[in-house]
Amino acid sequence: MTEKERKATLVKAVKAAYPKAGCSLKHRGVWQLLCATILSAQCTDERVNLTTPSLFKAYPSPKDLGNAGQEDVEKLIRSCGFYKNKAKSLIAASKIIAEKFKGRVPKTMEELTALPGVARKTANVVLGTGYGINDGIVVDTHVSRLSNRLGLTKNTEPEKIEKDLMRIVPREEWTDFSHQLIAHGRAVCQARAPKCAECPFSSFCPSAL
């Protein structure tokens, strides 16, 4: 089996193992997804899901959050870490969405990454999960770790990893593939103690051989 064939086989195996994998951030609508993703930076999705209900109850729309006071938002999201910067980003991004985009989160990478607190990873989450647009592949800590362990890339920089994955994974599967890798990273290929004996991909994985 060539390296190209190994990678293609591995991608198919990941898809087959986690057919129902999806976004674990709880949200209603694209704006809530954007806010939750901003909050998820260096924070667990579980913690974000505990935090967002009170945030969205207090500020149910982009206009509401865009007009919110910094300290008021900080109190609601403090447990997510880096709460001062995140509150600033949430307020500023929501204000732009309310005023410039009439309350609708934009649908292009360029417009999204121009929003405060939104880098490429967050934009990929919004486009892929929120709008079903496969413009790129989300590379979080799980995807980064697993892509290297599984021999899908030798790069460590997120954008370089993303480019490598985009060459391997069919475009229509980009969003799903990141969800599938994240699910595998949480369940089996954990950072400190990967469960290689339980891994369905061990025969294709150079780290397990």
Residues with catalytic roles = 121, 140
Q: What is the DSSP letter of 156?
A: -
Q: Which stretches does DSSP call E strand in the chain?
A: none
Residue located via tokens 């500023």: 92
Q: Is the dihedral of CA 12, 18, 24, 27 positive or negative?
A: positive
Burial of 20 (0-12, 13-18, 19+ CB in 10 A): exposed
- Those residues with Cβ within 8 angstroms of residue 109's Cβ, 6 or more apart along the chain or in another chain: 120, 123, 127, 135, 136
HSE-up (13 A, CA, CB side) for residue 98? 16
Could you give the CA distance from residue 194 to residue 112 in angstroms, rounded to a whole number? 35
Could you give the CA distance from residue 91 to residue 158 in angstroms, rounded to a whole number? 26
CB 112 within 8 A of CB 119: no
